[in-house]
Each structure stands twice: as C-alpha cells, then as structure tokens.
Structure 1
C-alpha cells in the first residue's frame, strides 16, 4: 500500500505536495519523495528513505534546496520490493530524466521486463519493480509519444494491478494518472485554477468538494483547472464529479495527541451515525432502506459469505456469526485474498457481503468480481460510497464512521460491526425468524451501545 498525490496549478507545487503526502502518509511511511517540473523545464526529484522520519526529512530538504515548480507528483511508501532507502523511494525517473513516475501495486512480471531493459542498455538505480514503468514510458517519450500514450503503452507490458501517476518534461503543465485492476484507488478534483490527484479522497478535501473516481482501464490528464478522462484506447469518457461526504476538520487531530486517540474518542458518535436512518428508537423498529432485495429474494438466500481483509475480516467474522445466529442462514467469513483461489461454491442464492472501509482494497475487489461472475447478490459495508466496491455491489451499507487515518482501526471496526448486526437483524426479520418484540429488544440494546463504548 502506498500514498499518491499530484498537483497542477498556479502556486508552488512543493508545499502542496508535502501537505498532500501528510494526508496519505497512513498508507505508507517508510519512504517519501516528490518530483516537480522546475521553471527551467527540467524534472527535479527529492526523496528520502528514513522510515518514519522520511516525510519530515523530505520537507526540510525541499525547503533547504528552495525547490519550486507549478506541477508535481509525490509518493509515500510501504516497501514491497527492495530495502528502505533513498534509491528505492519513489518517484522513479527514466535514464534521461524525461519522465518521472510514482506507482502503487505489484508488477508480477517485472523481472522479465527488467532483464529485457538491461539487455537494451538501461541501467537501473533501484531494486523496485516500479522503476521498470519509468524506463518503459521513457522509451516511448523518446519516440515522440505523448505522456498519456507513453504511460498507457508502458503499462500494456505489465501483468498485475497498477496505479501510476507521471509527469514529463515534454509536457510541463500536465500530470497523467492511470489505473489498471485493483491496486488501490485514484481520485481527481479541480477548481478554476487547480487540479489535484490522490490515492485517497481525504487528500483532496482541502482543495475541492467534488471528485471523480477512476475505474480500472482508465487514464486521466490534469492541468491547471482541467480534468480529461480517457479509456486505454484514447476514447474520451464523460463522468460527472460526485460530492464527497468528508470534511477537512475530520482529518485533523485537533487537541488529541494522535489520530488513534482522536478516533477512539469518536467511537460513540460513529455508532450513532451507523444507527441513524435504520433504527427507530421510539417504535423499536429496524429497517435497511439501502437494501433493494425483495422479500422473496431474501427468503431464497441459502448462504452468506462475508469477506474482507485485516480489521474488516475480523468485523466480518462477527457479522457472519450474527447472521447465522439470528437469521439462521449458514454464514462464514472469508479472507478476500484467498476466496477466489479456493474455488468456493457461489451461486445466485448466495449473498456476498464485502467489508472494506476504503472500498478500494485490491483483494476484496477481486473477491467481489469473482462473486459477480457467479451471479450472486452483493452488498458492501463501507465508508466511501463513490468507491470501486460501491460500483460493483448491488447495494451499499455505509458505516458513516467518518475518515479514519490511524492504521489501527477503531471507529471503523465498531461501526462495521454495528452495521453488520443491523443487517443480521434485518435478514432475520425479513425471513420471519424473529418477531417485533425480539427486534425491539435488539434495538434497545443498540441504543445503549454509544454510552457503553
């Protein structure tokens, strides 16, 4: 997992990039770096591989060097290829320095590509898989291709899920972003004189309230106040921006010493938001208006699979237990990274529930696509309603926890569990397993939960 941020505008990109990287630092903080196109038209890169001190040390370095440019890209990293050091930090550049890229994902065939590039005379400066993208794209730039076409052609050689952002000296006012598969998200937004791109919506909130999410197989160009979206064949894509449901203050620590302390303190309010619009504390009723399934469809469900990764999987274990206990439907929790590989029996009578806070977890998206191919109904328990998971699912169950920055999940965990318990009660009620009095009993207990956290 890595954090990406890019900027094109009319003010110095360097402090904007540093602030943007702070917003996505929770996605990786063993390395950090930025590349900007300077006023001379050259690409200049500064990066550090100093573990948790990387971003602070990078900030000091760019101030000391008085780095300046109106267009740039940035990256924070959790290492998957190569040790943590400056050379392995992103962004990576082509040999001639004509292009700089930052990457999130894993290139499964990078050794094969690397060997071919070395045979052609390319010298590598890192141990990462990502560097092959810079050199591949650089060869196309040298042949006269545009930045967008060069990145698309470079990625055509790659096997694996990939997100790339790139700048080129030949097009100094532009940043290109590309998404292939489920390597994480990429989201863009703009104002009249600014355009920004990031791996997470929270990084865009200080700049805009309306964003566009890229889907797999899409590439975007941003310039000062402009966004252009295309497919890999170059066909233009028209997509309206959506308003984000986060706020900048929610992403700040306030008086708390760290984000984890802040998010622990926010758990009671997060539970209340997960209950809002679903439980009626006066009548004791519970409804889930987000679920479009008919009564017959709900009664035909003969199996529920709850899938997720990490904390989401643990919330899913609780959810599966509640669904089987209350709704009397066989239910299990499945690790998303393993689900599709073990060839599970999934059919149209299976209900698959994906739990993913970001809605962009690569393995969970792959598991959802596997289930879709087999005709199962799907729901997604998530925070980000405009995410890829929301687009795959038949319905979404927002947890409404608010942005969670801390790596150790707190309010997202309890909000996911609350939402899954609501789902279990709803399925049980809809199938006639429990009566109104039992529903009211659960609702009364849920009403007490915020004060018990």
Structure 2
C-alpha cells in the first residue's frame, strides 16, 4: 500500500512534496519519486530507498548531475522558479522489481501524462498488450504505468475527460493522481476502493492517500468516495461521478487529529487500523491473479514452472507463528482441492531434524518480513537437499526472495502492529491461490467447481468489509464480560482449527492471558480438565462437514459449566441452543471461511487487551521480525 501526494497552488512545490512524503514514511516503501510542473516545464526525480535517497537525487538534479527524468526521459535540472503543480509517491512494490525505473511517477512515452498510483490494476496485461500493439513503448515492469498510457490515449487537452474515459477501462482496486504537461495548475484524482483524500486550502489544494501528508497545512478535509473523480485547481476542488461525469457535492470536514492519530487514519491504534485494512489486503493479493475468472494466474513464480507444479509429489510448509497457521489453512486447501500430500513443520524444528526431502518436493517457506531466521534456515536446508523452494512473503527484496526458486508475494502493505492481522489474511489468500492453481494444473477440480471457488474468493473482500462495517458491538460486549478471566480455551475442527490457533495466539500476544488452542476432538484427552464455571471457551463453529462433530464437543464443554463463545455462519440457527454467545460472520464456501472467522477473534483479542489497559501495537517481549534464532 503506497503513499501518494499531490499539490496545486502558489507555493514552491518541490520541498512541500518531499515533506509530505516524509509524513507518509510510516506506510513503508522501497522507492520514491516526485514530478513537478511549472508552465510547460516538467521535472521528475525518482530514487530507490528511503526519502533521504530521493532528497539526494533531487539535489543532484538541481546541480545538473542527472538523476532526474524530464518529460523526454533525459536528465534535467530542477526549474529555477518553483512549479505550482506536483505529485509524489512512496512505493510498496507489488508488480516489478525494486529499481528506479519501476518507481513512480510513471508517464506515457511522450511524457505528456504523469501519474502516481496506489493499488492494483487487475487487467493491466490485457491493456498492455492492446497498447503495445498500437505502438506504445513501456519503460517499466509495473501495472501502474498502464494508467498513464490509457489516459494519454484519450487525452486531447482535457485531463478530467481523459481520466474519466480511462477509469472506465481499468479493472482493480486503486487510487491515482494524474497531471498533464499541457495543463499546469490542474490535478485529477480517481478512487476505486483504495484511500484518497482532499485537503482544502486558501488558493491551494492538496491530495493524498492519508491525512498526515498535509495536516500541518490544513485541517479542512473532503473524502473522495468510491467511483469518484476529483479535479483540483488552486481555487477549489470539483467532485464528479467517474461513471457519468456528473458533479457531486462533498462536505468539508474539520479534522481535529494530532499527527499520531492522523497516521493511524483516525483509528485509536495501528492494530485496529490494520484490522480494518484487511479487505484491501485480500483484494490486492488475489486481484490480477484471479482476473481471468476461469483459473488462477501465478505467472510471477519465477523459476517454478507449471510442469513442476503439475508433477510435484509432496509439499512441505515451513513457517513460524502466525505464518505457520496460514500454512495450516493452506494444507487443508491443497490436499482437498489439488490432492497433493502436504506436511507442516515449524521452521525452528525442521532445520534440526534431518528431514527427508528431495527433487520432487516443493518446500514452501512463509515469512511476512522475508527475514525470519528460522524460516530462512529451513528453506536453505531444503534447497541444499535438492527440493524446489517457494517463498511467500510481503516484502520485495527481502532475504527470503533471494534464497528461493520462486516467490508468491502477498500485498498487504506495511504492517506496523507487532501482532499480525492483515498479513495473516493475505498469506491465507496466497495459499488459497496456490491450492487453486495446483488443482487447475492437475485437473483435480471440475472446471465449474474451480470457477465457483474463484468467484467466491473474489467476493470475500466485500464480505470482510461488510463484517467490519457492521461494527464489533457484540465482540465488545463479550470482551467486557470476560476480560478479567485468567484462562481461555480455543477449539476448532478441520479448517477451523488453524483459525482457533491464530485466535488464541492473538489473545496471548496482546492481552498476556494464558490461552490454549486444541483440536476439539482432542479436548477430552487432557484440556477438559482445565474447564470450570469461569472458563471462556471460544469455538470456531462456521458451517462445515464437521460442524455436527464440533457441536458434540461444545456440549461436552457446557456440561462442565464453561462459557461457550461461538463464531458461526450467519443464518445457522442450530448453534443458538448450544452456545452462550454467538458472533456471526457472512456465509461463504466453507473452505474459505477462515478469512472471515478470524476477524472476530482478532477483535476479541484487541478489545480484551484494551480493557486491560495494554499497548496492543507494541506488546511486551515481542518483535515484529524475528531475525535471530
């Protein structure tokens, strides 16, 4: 999830853009760039690394030493008179390597249209082929560059009209800002699900992916809705429907956030913000990979080709913590859909047990940071033994990407909270994609069933968004009743077991309450002795072929006096008589239910920890990335 900024007004814009980008550094990035326009003079500077690298590149360009790409792609110096229009970007890479030519802003080949983008263009390959056939030359490996070329195709001197026409051709989840060399003092922003907000000033206007970018200059804010464009000029902002071009009114809101609150998007903590970013994390991870509708496109797996995936004999998943739980969900999906045997291993154990692995095995290492020491060591051991290694990670350029034969990137953006939330659901989504691709290649699912599952997976982000928009009053009520409990037990069966394990881990991590999670059928082999009248027992009870078995386990819990909290599928009334409290989640295919069922468990852990007065973003003794054994 990238950071984007834009400005139109009378002030020197270059320094203003750099300062705004620095206020978006918390979003994370691997490269950055700005483009500024004054009269017909366009200067663009991009750099790999942090904002200091970009500042250095801007200084070199000003001294005539290159590093800036002008409208014709050549090195230029920054204009003597500061331009009045500009856009800037911090990139969190999703398509294309981390390098200067993939950094934003991007432009069409004539250098007329310049854009910065946050999000994914799902149909970029189709558009790129069409544009290339018409003679367009692309300078980057990114999906974002397509937007500049599509706008340029429609541009005849009216940037808002060209953006509106281009918007109708784009499929995906994105927000972008465009400027044209022929229209200084004009910016056009467009939003489809990714965030974009306007800052209103006196004789100047701001546009950004988050309020912190312009908070020191104005607290007058207008929020852009999905399916809308905004046209900015120094004297105002005009909002339009992207479908019809009709002008719409948007209220100006006075925000009273301080800088820290602004960074959190108005949420009280980064963890809560990131819980609410999960629909976008899932959507961006599956986006273009399911755009065909009839299959899954994993063309970015590097050296791991379809022939190997079709013939692979065994898959071994190595991971730690939350990533291990995502792998467990993937195991159920791969074995059920693709009929490939899957073994799970905790990475810290795998590296020491002299595992038997060879050329016909695929070893999947999952690490959100790409730097987890035990997972890296396990992957290296497997590769040395002749196995093919696939990495699933959230960070381009991380060590895990260099140690693997292929990489499947999640697209969750930077996660600041130590307790993983959006990176977990993105990892689960990636494992589902792998399972579906294997099934497609091996012919283990009927074509109709494959299409059905892909369509259902594409609906999940909307269902997660609806669940979060509903609010968590029911979870808060449960948390208030049980936050003083000294012990929680979590139960699940089949696909619900990894969800129970992840829910229990979240509670341990941020509330410091002793918590255990078990396969429900194993409860009577020990954990049942822990139950008494004060024990909250959280059951993942979404619809599945084993739900009746789980209900039997719930009955065993209740006769011991424990208090049953069930996460259930909306519309299933059978559980009403078996559970003390129920949190309902939207219905979906039962194998995809973990992406929904985990949400109430994250929120329960969050609310319990907050009621106990704890810091959920930085829990004690924990680090975001475990880089030592």
* Length-normalised TM-score, structure 1: 0.59
Aligned to 1:209: 219
C-alpha contact 2:18 2:55 (8 A) present in aligned 1:
no
Aligned positions of 1:46-445 closer than 5 A: 46-50=45-49, 53-61=52-60, 63-64=62-63, 65-67=77-79, 68-141=82-155, 144=156, 146-180=158-192, 182=193, 184-232=194-242, 233-248=244-259, 314=419, 335=425, 367=460, 369-370=462-463, 378=467, 380=468, 393-395=469-471
* SS at 1:157 equivalent: coil
Q: CA RMSD in A?
A: 4.6
Question: For structure 1, which segment, 127-136 or 239-248, has the greater mean C-alpha deviation from structure 2 after superposition?
Answer: 239-248
C-alpha contact 2:211 2:262 (8 A) present in aligned 1:
no
Aligned to 2:26: 26
* SS at 1:75 equivalent: strand
* SS at 1:87 equivalent: helix
C-alpha contact 2:177 2:189 (8 A) present in aligned 1:
yes
The CA deviation at 1:445 is 10
In 2 relative to 1, CA 157–313 (structure 1 residues): closer, same or farther, beyond 3 Å? farther
CA distance in 1, matches of 2:129, 2:168: 17
Larger of the two Rg values belongs to structure = 2
The CA deviation at 1:127 is 1.4
The CA deviation at 1:19 is 0.7
The structure showing larger relative contact order (alpha-carbon pairs under 8 Å, at least 6 residues apart) is 1
Count of residue pairs the alignment pairs up: 323
Question: For structure 1, which segment, 223-232 or 41-50, has the greater mean C-alpha deviation from structure 2 after superposition?
Answer: 41-50
* SS at 1:60 equivalent: helix
CA distance in 2, matches of 1:249, 1:443: 23
Q: Deviations over 1:395-438 (max 9, x none)?
A: 478x9xxxxxxxxxxxxx99x968xxxxx9xx99xx988xxxxx
* SS at 1:211 equivalent: strand
CA distance in 1, matches of 2:610, 2:14: 51
In 2 relative to 1, CA 240–44 (structure 1 residues): closer, same or farther, beyond 3 Å? same
The CA deviation at 1:215 is 1.9
* SS at 1:162 equivalent: strand
CA distance in 1, matches of 2:98, 2:139: 14
The CA deviation at 1:49 is 2.4
In 2 relative to 1, CA 123–193 (structure 1 residues): closer, same or farther, beyond 3 Å? same
CA distance in 2, matches of 1:17, 1:56: 11
CA distance in 1, matches of 2:41, 2:51: 29
C-alpha contact 2:157 2:182 (8 A) present in aligned 1:
no
Q: Deviations over 1:190-244 (max 9, x none)?
A: 1111100001111121121121221221100111141111111111111102232
CA distance in 1, matches of 2:460, 2:254: 28
Q: Deviations over 1:54-113 (max 9, x none)?
A: 333344345533432011111111222222222111111122221111111122221221
C-alpha contact 2:10 2:84 (8 A) present in aligned 1:
yes
C-alpha contact 1:24 1:203 (8 A) present in aligned 2:
yes
The CA deviation at 1:136 is 1.2
The CA deviation at 1:48 is 1.5
The CA deviation at 1:186 is 0.4
* SS at 2:217 equivalent: coil
C-alpha contact 1:47 1:89 (8 A) present in aligned 2:
yes
In 2 relative to 1, CA 341–10 (structure 1 residues): closer, same or farther, beyond 3 Å? same
C-alpha contact 1:34 1:45 (8 A) present in aligned 2:
yes
In 2 relative to 1, CA 117–340 (structure 1 residues): closer, same or farther, beyond 3 Å? closer
In 2 relative to 1, CA 171–188 (structure 1 residues): closer, same or farther, beyond 3 Å? same
Aligned to 2:70: none
Aligned to 1:361: none
The CA deviation at 1:168 is 0.8
CA distance in 2, matches of 1:240, 1:365: 32
Q: Which runs of 5+ in 2 are unaligned?
A: 64-76, 271-411, 433-456, 477-505, 512-537, 539-563, 566-578, 582-606, 621-629
In 2 relative to 1, CA 148–448 (structure 1 residues): closer, same or farther, beyond 3 Å? closer
Aligned to 2:15: 15
